[in-house]
Structure 1
Amino acid sequence: MKKIIFTFLALTTIAFSSCNDNFMERYPTTSLTETTVFGSYNTFKTYSWGLYSVFTNGNLLRRPGTGGSYASALSYQGDINAGYLMRREGGGNSYAFQNISSASSGNGWNFDYIRSVNVMLNNIDNSTMTDTEKEHWRSVGYFFRGYYYAELIARFGDVPWVNKVIGDTDKEIAYGPRTPRKTVADNVLNDLIYAEEHIKEKGDGENTINVHAVRALLSRFCLFEGSWRKYHNLGDYDNYFDACITYSEKLMKSFPTLHGDFGEMLTSDLKGVEGVILYKEYVAKEMTNYVLTHVERTSTHNVEMPQHIVDLYLCKDGKPISTSSQYEWGKTDKTMNSTFRNRDFRLLETVAPPYKVIPSTDNTSWKYTEDEADKEFMDIMGITRYTGYGGGVGEAGKHKVFPLMNWSAAILKQVPHFFTNNGGQGFIVAKSGNYVYRYYNVWDDSKENQGTSDVPIFKMDEILLNEAEAKFEKGAFNQEVADATINKLRKRAKIADMQVSDINANFDPERLDKAIDPVLWEIRRERIIELMGEGFGFYDVRRWKKADLFVNHVQYGQWATKTQIGTGTFVDLQTGYADATGKTEGYIYMYNDPVKAGKGWLDKYYLYQVPTNEIALNPNLAPNNPGWE
């Protein structure tokens, strides 16, 4: 199949029911009913195309490749919620400043998609398919239902388990209580294990649900559920870590090689790319265009990285900035150049590195300045050629291009670019100086807002990190595991291997989380950095039960001078507020320290609120989640 189009076909818009209310039980062959739709293998396949909509479903927090409205970036939202990233404007992290409103409806409490899957599952046994074909489609259905239930569990904990189409007589289900989390999660696990054993190995064509996609979901879901159970003191977690390891290792055997370029994983076509298991494919001039690659080249993109998260990135010698001799900031100067020099290459691919050029009068061409420091990171990135209005080429032809350009190919003369209309340039602005541009590329037809770079749904980068973390949780993480997982990622990031024997309390005395084992912290650090910008953060900090640590941290920008930031100000890290002394340089003030402002993360945020309207309709859903009663 050339493209997966995540829209329901006309077949899937039929209002299927669990019973036949017609006075005759004969169905014309031209009518779209359950009996005529679900007759053969091909009709099941046709129906299933609509189920792929789960990957951009509005009820899921992590929607790979979802750009949202023109001025938003929903692919980043999970990492914004986690405190890994921030918005340039908007009052700060909503969880840090307790701006999460009570929900009367919505909030992700929606079972329409579950019903769509159950309609398909309900009709398998009555079809004309062979037993093997029935097993395959049951497996596909279990995958989609499991994918959606994984989100419901992550949000609400206890949720109704619905494994059939609910009819008028099923009031005990429709108006029953929530099913305990453990039961629902175990049901999902069992369904996915069945699917892994019975699905067609290659699925139904290129880039469709196959045995590898099922294993990837098992890896992701089992790590989440195992660590949630462990750190939220629910018990019974070892079998989930075991399952995560089992299916991760199967994938590691099937996908032994990673694509060699970290940046291209979110900025290129992914067909045939090593290490990609399933991806969201975008097509020019179709309903599947991806807006974010356009937005990141405009004035509306407002996603930035707090400086303390920049500081998480290791140096090229594999050591943190607190102990690495390669960290340059403060030794000769306090510029962005010295902050980014000798760092993990993934930092440069995630946050726009510093440079400066001299653009032509019409901003369509440029030349270097006489200062070698201004071209330092353009040379490091190795991509300095561009062509054409609204487009460009790098050495790989599908990557970032320097200098940066807006949607109409106007040259951005410098990074950092602290405020709008700096020298007449109102685009690609970062108040903090740390402009996040993970999805930026110039080979899309950005002028026409035709974003066509693909976005991974499952890839081996995540699987390797799942394996490393699950192995640690089982007490089995060692140098061999590090070499098979984290160090494969580090080679691509151009930094030294993790040496497990070197990691102790003194490896990073300034690490953010001093309450956990230093090796576990390094594993988590690697996950944060590798998956930055892909929306995993809010799931991770909640399953680790560490949301307060990340969300409550005061967010501020890079070190700068008053001349650079104009009317901006600096933060006083002692008070947690904007500096009132009139200093002429410092870390850029973004938002108050939420804890010192009397706010901060509330434990009730670990689980979402069941909408009050749902409880009013079905009182058996009560009590609500803790803190939301």
Structure 2
Amino acid sequence: MKKILYLLIVVNLFIGCNDNFLEKYPKEVQTEVTAFKTYANFKTYAWGLYGGLNNPNILRKPGTQTDDSFYWGDVLAGYLSKKKSGYQNMYSFQLATVPASGGGFDFAYVRRVNLMLDNIDGSIMSQEEKDHWRSVGYFFRAYYYYELVARFGNVPWIEHVVKETDDDIIYAEQTPRTIVVQKMLENLQFAEQHIKPNGDGINTINIHTVRALISRLCLFEGTWRKYHNIEDAEKYLKCCAEISEKLMSSFPKLHPYYDEMFTSEDLSTVDGVILYKEYKADVLTNNIGYYERCGTNGNQMNKYTVSLFLCMDGKPISASPLYAGDKTMYDEMRNRDPRLLLNVTPPYRVNTDGTPTGNPKDAEYIEKMKVLSREGHKRLPLYNWSGSILEMSPNMEPKSVRAYMVSRSGYYMYKNYNTWDQNSNAQALNTADKPLFKIEEILLNYAEAKYELGEFDQSVADMTINKLRSRQNVQVGKMIVSEINDNFDVARDPLVPAVLWEIRRERIVELMGEGFGFYDIRRWKRAEWFLNRESKGIYIRKSDFNMANKEIMDPITGLPNKELTEGYIYLAPNPVDLGKGWLEKYYLYPIPANQLLLNPNLEQSSGWERF
């Protein structure tokens, strides 16, 4: 077992038993009794559990090979939006409803893990081997329960395979989240002490992976409890800080190129990667790169999110003398945090054959990207999957003119774009690996936890945020804690302390496009700040884009005005002006209607209707 290929190779494991056979089974048939005996048996079964890292019921799915689900958490958070005309965020405009079924309230994966855990004691393995596989099972179960708690809060805690006669479990009420998370943490702490430090080979669940999940879980739970007024927040924040320190010691180096976390063929050679999803030609491939090189990609950034990226001097656009304004995209992206240019396609123009136009301005970012991104990764001009040149960015032309790599906002997301991966319109051929846990997230977890504990100072900033900013293709001015006061960024959320806002900003920027957003804005209890606002794109002059019918946002009404000849592109109005906006009940997902019918003892999430 060398690398995660997530091959579902476990078959015929659990064919029903007939008591008349007593303990005699056909030799050619695997059953629960015969399948879980040796170390190799458990190793084989555990391969099938790795798929849970990208389970369809999990909101954040890095490495998912279909459509755009790897961005979805940031779309729901309002960091990103969809390009289709009339798109409205489901929470901003109160479109979320109680689902008839689904909704993530599913325990099938928990049962699969419990099946392995329930059979460990009856195996012929040594105690050390039993403890190892118990640790692996605890990791997978906690990983999935993290999603359940993040969505629903109180959920049934199920430690064993449920039988048809277990009415006390089948019809049980939800277990309080405080108990569920405590169980998860206890399981993970056992795993940290008993798992084989190096797992079962390269890129398998090991001590570092367990610690990374503890860090993620404890930051989420600690901040959720603090801002949602639940006891014991400090306990989890301390745990996050302590476990993150261990990982920071084990992974002292960062990969020098920010973009290569998502555009590398082999993440085993990239510093700071703790666990990743591997793709290999002719074995397991994806279409993530292809998706960002065709007309299907509907993910775009909006102007507010762009405004969160600092200037190169480490100051916000509201205060930096380096900020050149936003009346052209060339100005707006100049002197900005390079992570903006590595997530959103920079502006450029070339001739139809890809040659320079002769205008130095058109080539400014073509040359810039040669410095920011290494050969084989991001280069301008862009090419679609078939090799056709995208002559200009931003590309907002009607589909009949230029159908591929289009955005309505002008800020086209291309985080996974690279020039080396194979692409085909007929099948998935991409093989770029995708990170599942990496040290960059841990640094941000540590910084935030230390602030919440009242222990964030310049030394912590240097260990974390400034370490991220000093990478070779980032090089943003350092965070100087003593300089950050209420006037540092006048555009910040006024309900968030200035230093904490900068820590959160760094998290948003560093993890942009990785799907953390909707988890974060809910645990911070500041979803309304991100979602209750108008949504607009770049500033344009219609004549520059041959788009007479383009909707410009009226600066007075915030609504589209086709008569205006220049201005910010209209995406969506402020939902509050329409009597909509974020509702308190959205902090938890609703229990689906069919589950409430099946188990009348389940309580609907606060604020949601039962049926």
Q: TM-score, normalised by structure 2?
A: 0.96
Match of 2:351 in 1: 358
Match of 1:215 among 211, 218, 237: 211
**1:295-337 residue CA offsets vs partner (Å, 9 max, x unmatched):** 111111111100111011000000000000000116xxx2111
What amino acid maps onto 1:505 in structure 2?
A: D
Is 1:370 equivalent to 2:358 in the alignment? yes
Query: Could you list the per-position Cα deviations for residues 372-427 of structure 1 after superposition, in whole angstroms to 9, with x for gaps in the alignment?
Result: 1111111111179xxxxxxxxx8443x112210000111111111112347x4221
Which residue among 73, 80, 86 is the counterpart of 2:68? 73
- 1:324-382 CA distance string (max 9 Å, x none): 0000116xxx211100000000000000001111132xxxxx21121111111111111
CA contact under 8 A between 2:277 and 2:435: conserved in structure 1?
Answer: yes
1:443: how far off?
Answer: 1.1
Separation in 2, partners of 1:213, 1:113: 19
Q: Return the alpha-carbon distance in structure 2 between the equivalents of residues 125 and 54 of structure 1.
A: 23
Q: Give yes or no for contact 2:589–2:605 (8 Å, CA) kept in 1.
A: no
Mapped to 2, the partners of 1:21 and 1:267 lie a distance apart of: 54
Contact 1:96 1:600 (C-alpha < 8 Å) held by counterparts: yes
Which amino acid in structure 2 is aligned with residue 83 of structure 1? G
What's the counterpart of residue 140 of structure 1? 136
Question: Cα offset for 1:16?
Answer: 6.4
1:273 aligns with 2:253: no
Contact 2:10 2:48 in 1 (8 A): no
Deviations 1:243-271 (A, max 9, x none): 10111110000000000000111111212
> Structure 2 counterpart of 1:10, which letter?
V
Residue 627 of structure 1: aligned partner? 608
CA contact (8 A) 1:106 1:611 kept: yes
Is the CA contact 1:266–1:456 (under 8 Å) kept in the aligned structure 2?
Answer: yes
Contact 1:604 1:628 in 2 (8 A): no
The equivalent position to 1:434 in structure 2, one of 411, 414, 430, is 411
> Does structure 1 conserve the Cα–Cα contact (< 8 Å) formed by 2:14 and 2:30?
no
Correspondence 1:489 to 2:468: yes
- Preserved CA contact (<8 Å) 1:552 1:601: yes
Amino acid at match of 2:359: D
Q: Which moved more, 1:559-568 or 1:244-253?
A: 559-568
- What corresponds to 2:281 in structure 1? 284
Percentage of matched positions with identical amino acids: 50
SS at match of 1:350: coil
**Residue 505 of structure 2 is aligned to residue 525 of structure 1:** yes
- Contact 2:188–2:214 at 8 Å: present in 1 too? yes
Question: C-alpha distance in 2, partners of 1:21/1:66?
Answer: 42
Match of 1:297 in 2: 293
Secondary structure of the structure 1 residue equivalent to 2:355: strand
Quick one: distance in 2 between partners of 1:120 and 1:338?
57
**Aligned-residue offset at 1:101:** 2.5
Structure 1 counterpart of 2:44, which letter?
A: T
Of 560, 572, 594, which aligns to 2:554?
572
CA distance in 2, matches of 1:80, 1:178: 29
C-alpha separation in 1, matches of 2:89 and 2:190? 41
Match of 1:443 among 398, 420, 438: 420
CA distance, structure 2, for counterparts of residue 584 and residue 381 of structure 1: 32
Q: Distance in 2 between matches of 1:243 and 1:527?
A: 19
- Per the alignment, residue 565 of structure 2 pairs with 584
CA contact (8 A) 2:135 2:188 kept: yes
Name the CA distance, whole Å, in 1 between partners of 2:557 and 2:20. Answer: 72
Aligned partners of 1:22, 1:401: CA distance in 2, in Å? 68
Instruction: Output one character per residue of 1:3-61: Cα deviation in whole Å (capped at 9) or x when no partner.
Output: 322243233x64467x8745422234432111211111111000000000111110100
Question: Does the aligned pair in 2 maintain the 1:51–1:144 contact within 8 Å?
Answer: yes
1:556 aligns with 2:543: no
Assess if the C-alpha contact under 8 Å between 1:575 and 1:596 holds in 2.
Answer: no
Contact kept? 1:82, 1:551, Cα under 8 Å: yes
Partner of 1:471: 450
Aligned to 1:600: 581
Correspondence for 1:348: 341
Answer yes or no: is 1:405 the counterpart of 2:383: yes
Q: Which residue of 2 aligns with 1:109?
A: 105
Q: Distance in 2 between matches of 1:303 and 1:497?
A: 30
Contact in 2 for aligned 1:383/1:402 (Cα 8 Å): no
Equivalent residues of 1:238, 1:474 under 8 A apart: yes
- Residue-pair matches, total: 602
Give the aligned partner of residue 368 of structure 2: 380
- Please give the alpha-carbon distance, in whole angstroms, between the structure 1 residues aligned to 2:380 and 2:282: 27
**CA distance in 1: counterparts of 2:223 and 2:609, whole angstroms:** 23
Give me the whole-angstrom Cα distance separating, in 2, the residues matched to 1:395 and 1:510: 34
1:358 alignment partner AA: N
C-alpha distance in structure 1 between counterparts of 2:157 and 2:142, whole Å:
11
Which residue of 2 is the match for residue 10 of structure 1?
Answer: 10
Task: Report the alpha carbon displacement of residue 464 of structure 1 after superposing the two structures with TM.
Answer: 0.3
1:34 partner letter: E
CA distance in 1, matches of 2:399, 2:515: 30
CA distance in 1, matches of 2:413, 2:246: 34
Deviation track 1:592-627 (CA, whole Å, cap 9, x = no partner) reads: 221112211111111111111111111011244333
Is the alpha carbon distance of 1:177 and 1:127 closer, same or farther for their aligned partners in structure 2, counting shifts above 3 Å? same
Q: 1:259 to 1:22 in 2, by over 3 A?
A: farther
Alignment partner, residue 160 of structure 1: 156
Aligned equivalent of 1:36: 34
Between 1:594-603 and 1:221-230, the stretch displaced more is: 594-603
CA 1:421–1:157 in 2, change beyond 3 Å: closer, same or farther? closer
- What is the SS of the residue equivalent to 2:269? coil
Distance 1:67 1:594, change over 3 A: farther
Structure 1 residues 133 and 377 mapped into 2: Cα distance closer, same or farther (>3 Å)? same
What's the Cα RMSD here? Answer: 1.6
559 and 164 in structure 1: CA distance in 2 versus 1, 3 angstrom threshold: same
For 1:358, what is the secondary structure of its paired residue? coil
Give the C-alpha shift of residue 289 in structure 1. 1.8
> Take 1:345 and 1:546, find their aligned partners in 2: how far apart are those partners?
27
Distance 1:343 1:20 in 2: 69
- Asked if the contact 2:10/2:45 (under 8 Å) is kept, the reply is no
Is 1:537 aligned with 2:517?
A: yes
Q: What TM-score do you get using the length of structure 1 for normalisation?
A: 0.93
**SS at structure 1 position matched to 2:575:** coil
**Of residues 476, 495, 512 in structure 2, which corresponds to 1:515?**
495
Per the alignment, residue 323 of structure 2 pairs with 327
The amino acid that maps onto 2:486 is: A
Q: Which amino acid aligns with 1:438?
A: K
> What secondary structure is seen at the aligned counterpart in 2 of 1:476?
coil
Residues 476-496 of structure 1, C-alpha deviations (whole Å, 9 max, x = no match):
000000000001111122211
Measured after TM superposition, the shift of residue 235 of structure 1 is 1.8
Equivalent-residue separation in structure 2 for 1:497 and 1:16 (angstroms): 60
- Aligned equivalents of 1:338 and 1:475: distance in 2? 39
Is the 8 Å Cα contact of residues 2 and 202 (structure 2) preserved in structure 1?
A: yes
Partner AA of 1:8 in structure 2: L
Equivalent-residue separation in structure 2 for 1:66 and 1:150 (angstroms)? 18
